[in-house]
Structure 1
Amino acid sequence: MNEMLSSTANLRDHSEVATLISAFFRTLDEQRFDEGWAEAYFTDDLRTTTPLGVAEGIDAVRHLEEAIGRFAATLHISSDVLFRAEPGARTARASWNAHMTHVHLDSTLRARGEDANPLFTVGGTYEAELRRTEEGWRFSRMSVRAVWTTGEPPTLPG
């Protein structure tokens, strides 16, 4: 077995990070962006790299909310979480595959015409750096890279 996954503590950390990823995706899909929602997932110095660009801190959180708000519904599915950290470490790296389905808003579809595809689908990979906090693991850096897409992407701000 890989040395990085051989300790019980590392297996527990791997499980906690995989749960963090799933919970984060569920929050996006349910669009639960109540005041302070991001504290459950991110450090204050978060830096993200997404199709909207690079953003830091609260701007990174707002970019995520804005990106999800462009759709009537989304479904994010994660798999193959790879977790890398020394046992007991305060920082870690993780990567995972994601299948992301987005349903365009009715107004977007009307603007594109009657035969517009209601779905924009992405297969991609995430890379993240995490920091162990008093509350558990939190993302400090996160990037997403599209490997393939189908359908029309949303119109990005100019």
Structure 2
Amino acid sequence: MDETSSTTNPRDHFEITTLISGFFRTMDERRFDEGWAGAYFTDDLRTTSPLGEAEGADAVRGVEEAIGRFAATLHLSSDVLVRAEPGARTARASWNAHMTHVHLESTLRARGESANPLFTVGGTYEGELRRTDSGWRFSHVSVRAVWTTGEPPVLPEETAARVTELTGAQASN
């Protein structure tokens, strides 16, 4: 995303950066009450992750399921770049993320006494946003791992098979 020619309104940048921070905080606090997704996403949300692509309600469930594979998480965002022409109804954003995941006790038991309790990811996010009557919302979110330490979570068999199919790498299950 070329930010050198951006004319983004500072208020739009602030609102989108706040949306990103709120989204990460919601995941870490696991505040997935009914309707939570409406505060962050459009109804036609699309997501892209190492586990594949999803749309709409399936994309929202994917976020909830991913977080549920861990006992705790901490997501940190930095270097948010926003591209939105003044008065535009759409925007693009990118940011770096440091994501720390604490494995469930069941994962640690399955892996044995020497299992690393943490799975850490350094990555980048890309987002497409739409200005709604309620403010900016993500219409597409994409996450890409740049590096990882530790082992990923134990995945359900069908999810592990999908990861293997998408990446050619054997997923942990």
The corresponding residue for 1:66 is 65
Aligned-residue offset at 1:156: 2.5
Aligned-residue offset at 1:3: 5.1
Runs of 4+ in 1 over 6 A off after TM superposition: none
Q: How does 1:1-158 map to 2 (within 5 A)?
A: 4-5=6-7, 10-157=9-156, 158=158
Give the secondary-structure state (helix, strand or coil) at the position aligned to 2:6: helix
Residues 39-74 of structure 1: per-residue CA shift (max 9 Å, x gap): 000000000001221000000000000000000000
Distance 1:152 1:57 in 2: 29
Distance 2:104 2:51 in 1: 18
- Structure 2 residue runs without a partner (length 5+): 159-173
Q: TM-score, normalised by structure 2?
A: 0.87
Give the secondary-structure state (helix, strand or coil) at the position aligned to 2:28: helix
AA at the equivalent of 2:114: D
Distance 2:103 2:6 in 1: 41
Distance 1:70 1:3 in 2: 40
Residues 6-37 of structure 1: per-residue CA shift (max 9 Å, x gap): x6xx1100000000000000000000100000
AA at the equivalent of 2:94: S
AA at the equivalent of 2:85: E
Distance 2:82 2:39 in 1: 19
Aligned-residue offset at 1:117: 0.2
Q: Across the two proteins, how many residue pairs are aligned to each other?
A: 155
Give me the CA root mean square deviation: 1.3
Distance 1:4 1:126 in 2: 19
> Between the two proteins, what is the percent identity of the paired residues?
81
Q: TM-score, normalised by structure 1?
A: 0.95
Given that 1:47 and 1:141 are in contact with CA atoms closer than 8 Å, whether structure 2 keeps it comes out as: yes
Aligned-residue offset at 1:85: 1.1
Residues 82-110 of structure 1: per-residue CA shift (max 9 Å, x gap): 00011000000000000000000011001
Give the secondary-structure state (helix, strand or coil) at the position aligned to 1:27: helix
